[in-house]
A and B are shown apart, each in its own frame.
Chain A
Amino acid sequence: MRLCAVDLACHRGGRDIFTGLNFAVASGEVLAVTGRNGAGKSSLLRTIVGLIRVGRGKLTLEGGDPELTIAEQAHYLGHQDALKPSLSVAENLRFWAGFLGSEPADIAAALVTVGLDGLADLPSAYLSAGQRRRLSIARLVAVKRPIWLLDEPTSSLDDAAQNRLMALLRSHVAEGGMVVAATHGPIGLGGPKELRLDDMALPSSATAAAEPAVP
């Protein structure tokens, strides 16, 4: 499976967020999208899942399920955690597992993976920011999807939780999944491909060449 972008551009509010973007990620690879604030990291992820319309260029998935769109084969972990404070930890996860997945999910196992077992019956309102983030990540474990699109996945996670996330990403990649992660710091995975979005937002560099696609 290979996710390719050719000459991809994104326009928001009459402004080019990025243009002329080329990259490719294959199964078993991690692409780290880096760049300063406002460089368009989040917009790129949202473009891939179809929440923002592709301005120009092409976005294709080779070797995926032809019946499904890219978004339907991808997990998107945005800035917000998509949790309801009045529902319990398990209820939140069970909802997303039921909504996103077609087969019954192992809620308890997913909670163990993110280290939230024992809090299953707790209302999510009581969780700290880091715990909410982990509950949000549990969704990726509960429902199997090959493509993970992560927007600042380590935000509000402590060291232990970051290590656990890295282990999770490694095992996902090892099982043939792919990860595209927007991050401003080092992602901590050994030698991932990097896509730098810096300078892309400047109008004068609209034709600037992006990181060349790695075949």
Chain B
Amino acid sequence: MKFSENQIRLFRNLSVVSGIFTMVIAFTMIMSLIQLKTSDPLEDPALKSIIEQFDKDPENADIAENVRSLDLIARKAYFAARWQLETGSYLLLAGAILFVVFQWLSTGQEKSARGKLPPKPQITEEKERSKKYLIVFSSVFFILAVISSFALRPLLPAPGEAKKGIRSEETGKASAVLPVPDGINYPNFRGEGSRGIAGGEGYPTDWDGNTGKNIKWKVPVPKFGKSSPVIWGDKLFLTGAEGSVFEVYCYDKNTGDLLWTGTGSDFPGASKDVPETDEESGMAIQTPAVNKDAVCAIFANGNLVAYDHNGNLLWAKNLGMPEHTYGYTSSLLIYNDILLVQYDSELRLSVIGFDVKSGKQLWETSRRGKPVNSSPALGMFNGIPQVIINGSPEVTAFDVMTGKELWTINGVVNDVAVSPAVNNNFVYVSANYEALLAIKPDKSGATVGWSDNTYTPDVSSPAATDEFLFISDGTGAIACYKADSKEKLWENYFNSSFYASPIVAGGMVYFLDRDGVMHVVKASATYELVSESSIGEDTDSTPAFSEKRIYIRGEKNLYCISAD
């Protein structure tokens, strides 16, 4: 094809025009792209702040209207940018094709002018140059290799690194110790880590609810519940329920004033269903758990709520109505910032870790077997903090941080309701008429250290120190085992039976029976009954210990017992 001068000039002009067109389109496209990727109109700060405003004043219809209109503008901007990109890309393509075609037509005709040719290369010169390069480059690379061996070798993992890495891991984890009971906070069912040991000392041993002796204060609890009190700082938390109304209570632990009441049944997504269970136990049977940020409470229908210490609802959800023949009863447990929920339902048997502050589910691990009524306890074996669950038929430990199953062993089977007692060497579990087992976790799993069937606690969970194991049971028996053997150091019987779990505090063991009588026994190898004191009211809840005071929830009232 041959074109005239004029035609070529026309092509050239057209190509310039299409080139400019393409550039403009490209520029606007890049701008829209950057706008879409960097400043998301949907993340508009103005919109965010107005939504915040709206949250503070949810009844204000004007603000709601503002949110709506601003939201509409943001979306319009977003979709306009998207539309620009879509159409722009086709325009860009068209412009580019035109540009190329016209350029091709206008320049393709010219043969490149034959300029001054360089002199022909001299083969010998080229060869000499190549020789020089070969020598230079080989020495440069050699030096590079030598330097790199000094500069970069330390980055290489040593051959045994994989194992070394794990070893250093272990020592790193060993420093992550379990929280020690501190005498002020009593954050879970059975105290810190749900291990049945209270910190501090100088707890009262003598009181009388009928005469008011050593009873610092006594307040009625608004709604019924079998849950036990927990304490953080100066605040004491309890739960109660009546009908389909569930509540969380916060008391001043020094005065007994009810500071605030939070709902456990009225939040978006709450279940209003009340599973048909024994009226005697009620819906507020699980003990709440508390840490520095929040108090979490769960109820028998799976409602799970978290309040901050001032009574503001942080989050709430329903875990689903547990399908459980006897009702769902497992108490909560908090380790650092992780809320551990033992969820027992025929439909879903698991242990779940939540972030205490946000309620975000961190992990969930399924368990095997059938639903039980025990509560989880915290242990530390092989340097890994673990949550230990007395299930049926397996006793299983899960890594608190990840939910990974660490070890499992066949334990007790029938009507499992006793929470494990944990010390530094053993995990003790029990079921009525079956056995009392001491399980020893080791590197490769767990073995049964010893077992006995003289005393088989049924409701009341045992408490263990590194020396002794204390049990109380439904027949009214109390006993002390040596921690590392089935040797019984002492035993005794009382007329009433025990549902509350024994707590070791200040060198004593506190056994609270169903009639409200506390049997205080020295925590030693020989039996020495220190005192027997009654609050004058039936009770099934486990007492709480904090700063030389004991807190007991009776059937109707909450008692603070103090020797001052």
Partners in one complex: no
